[in-house]
C-alpha cells in the first residue's frame, strides 16, 4: 500500500469515527430530551456523560485507531 493510500485510509477511519460519535451524541441527547422535556437539561446530561467517558474512552479509541493504522501500513 502506498503512503498516499495509507493516509487516505486513516482520514477515512477518522471521518467515520467523527460521524459515529456525532450520531451517538445526538441519539443520547434526544433520549435525555424525551426523558426530561428540557433541551438544556438534556444537553447538560450529555456533556456530563461525555466528560465521565472522556479519559478511558479516548485512550481506548486512540489505541484502536493506532492499531488500525499499523495494520493498514503493514499491507
Q: How confident is the model over 40-74, as pLDDT tens digits? A: 999 999 988 888 876 777 777 778 878 887 776 66
User: Domain residues for 10?
Assistant: 3-74
- Residue 39's pLDDT band (cuts 50, 70, 90): very high
For the chain, the straight-line distance linking the first and the last C-alpha, in angstroms and rounded, comes to: 6
What is the model's pTM?
Answer: 0.58
Q: Which residues contact 4 (CB under 8 A, 6 or more apart)?
A: none
Instruction: Take residue 27 and report the three cell numbers written for it.
Output: 441519539
Residue 74 phi, psi dihedral angles, 5° rounding: -85, -15
Question: In total, how many domains does the chain have?
Answer: 1
- pLDDT value at position 61? 75
Helix/strand number for the chain, H first, E second: 2, 0
Q: Is the pLDDT of residue 36 over 90?
A: yes
CB 28, CB 47: distance < 8 Å = no
Amino acid at each position: 500500500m502506498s503512503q498516499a493510500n495509507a493516509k487516505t485510509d486513516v482520514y477515512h477511519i477518522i471521518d467515520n469515527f467523527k460521524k459515529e460519535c456525532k450520531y451517538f451524541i445526538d441519539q443520547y441527547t434526544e433520549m435525555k430530551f424525551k426523558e426530561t422535556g428540557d433541551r438544556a437539561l438534556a444537553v447538560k446530561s450529555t456533556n456530563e456523560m461525555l466528560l465521565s467517558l472522556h479519559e478511558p474512552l479516548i485512550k481506548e479509541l486512540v489505541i484502536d485507531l493506532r492499531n488500525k493504522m499499523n495494520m493498514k501500513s503493514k499491507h
